[in-house]
A = this chain, B = another copy of it.
Amino acid sequence: MSARRRDSASTAAARAERRAELLATAAEVFASRGYAVTTVREVAEAAGMLGGSLYYHFDSKESMVDEILSAFLTEMWAAYDRVLASGLGSRETFQALVAESFRMIDRHRPAVMIYQNESRYLSTSPRFSYLLDSQERFRQMWLELLDRGVLDGTFRVGLDTGVIYRFLRDTVWVAAGWYRSGGRLTADEIARQYLTMILDGILST
């Protein structure tokens, strides 16, 4: 590897790292203030630069969220797919998916918040049709799991799985709104509380 190539390699790596830093900053701002009402200037200021300078790194404000969300969804589905491929029973799969979800919140809180809060708005653009695809896949995953669990006797008969799915879908992610990494509870502890509530109910037995 020539010096020149090493230079260009390290430059490319440095550039990728800078992009990642900027995206992390942007994600934080988008998450805390809302994508639509956040100005490019605000993102830039949080990154210590002026508004126009961001355009050296990114095509547009839209391409920033795009990158944030697609990176997140890629990682999320990789995690879910690992769980689904591991051949666990309904209950264990349920627990593993919920645990994975809270780990995603732990590691990608801003992205999760953006996904949760801005999907509806962003989906109106064809560029973000993958958000709808992801939601549909998410729906099928949970519905199949719930149906399987009812059939194999894991889950209560008589559940309206369509309704339950909807509650699960939203509930899993809303924790991103209040969870703080390094706070009183770890992601796994929160997952445990959540699983107890959903699986066993909150009534004393």
Contacts and interface: CB of A to CB of B under 8 A. Distances in A.
Interface in A187-205: 189-190, 193-194, 196-205
Nearest to A94: B202
A82 interface: no
A178 B162 CA distance: 11
Contacts of A37: 36, 121
Interface stretch (A6-14, A70-78, A103-111, A163-171): A163-171
A154 B157 CA distance: 24
A156 interface: yes
A91 B203 contact: yes
Contact of A202 (B164, B166, B171): B164
Interface residues of A, number: 40
A97 interface: no
B193 A164 contact: yes
A178 B167 CA distance: 10
Nearest to A190: B163
Q: Which 9 A-B pairs have the closest CB atoms?
A: A201-B201, A170-B174, A200-B201, A163-B193, A156-B204, A36-B37, A199-B203, A199-B201, A171-B171
